[in-house]
Amino acid sequence: MKNEIHELLYHYSEEGQEGYDLNEVQLLEERNAERTEKLKLLLHNEDRYIAYQAMLILLAWAEPEGFKQLDRFISEKWNEKETFEPHRIHGEDNLYDVIANALYIATLNGKPEQELYPYIKHFLEIYGTQFFESGLKEFLLKKNGGPLLSDIEQAMQDALENKRYYQASQLFPVLVHYDKDNFKKYKDTFTSLIKEDNRIEYNIEEAENNK
């Protein structure tokens, strides 16, 4: 059974490339119905991590069951029960970034981005207290984040209040991308914080390029 689960979650074979990587499985263009149905069954696995990984694949494939599982994941607060994506350096759980990436792939598979706004808005609401690296940022830059501009700005301010300075600066280029006036509005704030984390400088440069 363990071998079958491993194959379902990780095995990919496409265009002469073959291996074991969940990210590559998410990006598969040719997907058979039998594998999809078996992945749906894994959503009910007693091991939450297995259920979570099956959810990531089904989300990316734009399968309705993946989104139903994400609703359950959020409402039942699975993130408070265990760690799913421990960051290699910071030790915090990067699961929301990973989920944001799965949602982005879903748009490539026909999922309308407007249907994803409630999830993205939820991630922005918790941005100030939860760990994010770059997945949510990339979603907001690659898709149309304009309708969520006020939510993005509030998320950035929440992160600043909680002294997640670099994380706050990750949204600076996003704000400027949708409203150029935000560069002047927040430049001094982030410039003054470079001493706290020199990586902030890269986001200031990116914001300037987005003007």
For residue range 57-108, list pLDDT tens digits in order: 999 999 999 999 999 999 999 989 899 998 776 678 999 999 999 999 999 9
What does the longest C-alpha to C-alpha distance in the chain come to? Answer: 57
Instruction: Decide: helix, strand or coil at residue 14.
Output: strand
Tokens 């490339």: give the residue. 17
How far, rounded to the nearest angstrom, does the alpha carbon of residue 90 sit from its chain's CA centroid?
A: 17
> Looking at the whole model, is its pTM more than 0.85?
yes
Instruction: Give the H/E segment covering residue 17.
Output: strand 17-20
Q: What share of the chain is helix, strand, coil (3-state, %, to 5)?
A: 65, 5, 30
Are the C-beta atoms of residues 160 and 189 closer than 8 Å to each other? yes
Identify how many contiguous H helices and E strands the chain contains and give both numbers: 13, 2
Residue 17's pLDDT band (cuts 50, 70, 90): confident
How far, rounded to the nearest angstrom, does the alpha carbon of residue 112 sit from its chain's CA centroid?
A: 16
The two structure tokens encoding residue 186: 């927040």
pLDDT of residue 89: 67
Rounded to the nearest 10 degrees, what angle do helices 149-161 and 181-191 cross at? 10
What is the percent of the chain where pLDDT is above 90?
Answer: 89
Give the separation between CA 199 and CA 179, rounded to whole angstroms.
23
For residue range 154-197, list pLDDT tens digits in order: 999 999 999 999 999 999 999 999 999 999 999 999 999 999 99
Domain spans, the chain: 1-76, 83-211
